[in-house]
Amino acid sequence: MEENVNIFEWVFITKSEIPKDIVDILAPGEVAVASYKTLRDSATFTDKRIIVKDVQGLTGKKVEMYSIPYSSINMWSTETAGLLFDLSAEVQLWTRQGNIKITLKKDVDIREFDRLIAHCILR
């Protein structure tokens, strides 16, 4: 059996305001629902997709945007943080292209995040 490969791995540090530059790229009628701060920038959940803004280079002038439509997500799982040494929760999204692993730091509520994923994917 072939093992799925992580095509992306991101760390969400805390919930944040929805960035203005993300609002500017939304499709007509698309609505931003929630945003999370990543190590260098942000991940925004809309009613149609996940948009991850990846700032690159020393100056941060180069930016790559990833757009993951919810229709491409086949399954997801969440794992809560442990009590002592494991301070982060994990989310796995399975897509046709491979897995996406998201680590949620302690300031991100895993149950709120799980409800967000369910709301967006199961619509």
20-44 pLDDT tens trace: 989 999 999 999 999 999 888 899 9
The helix/strand/coil state of 46 is: strand
* Token pair in block for residue 72: 């491409």
Domain ranges of the chain: 6-121
Q: Which tens digit of pLDDT belongs to each residue from 62-86?
A: 888 999 999 999 999 998 876 656 6
Consecutive H or E run containing 13: none
pTM value is: 0.86
Fold that domain 6-121 belongs to in CATH: PH-domain like (2.30.29)
C-alpha–C-alpha distance, residues 26 and 78, integer Å: 27
Q: Which tens digit of pLDDT belongs to each residue from 6-20?
A: 788 999 999 999 999
What was the pLDDT predicted at 86? 61
Q: Is the pLDDT of residue 1 over 50?
A: no
* Token pair in block for residue 112: 């709120």
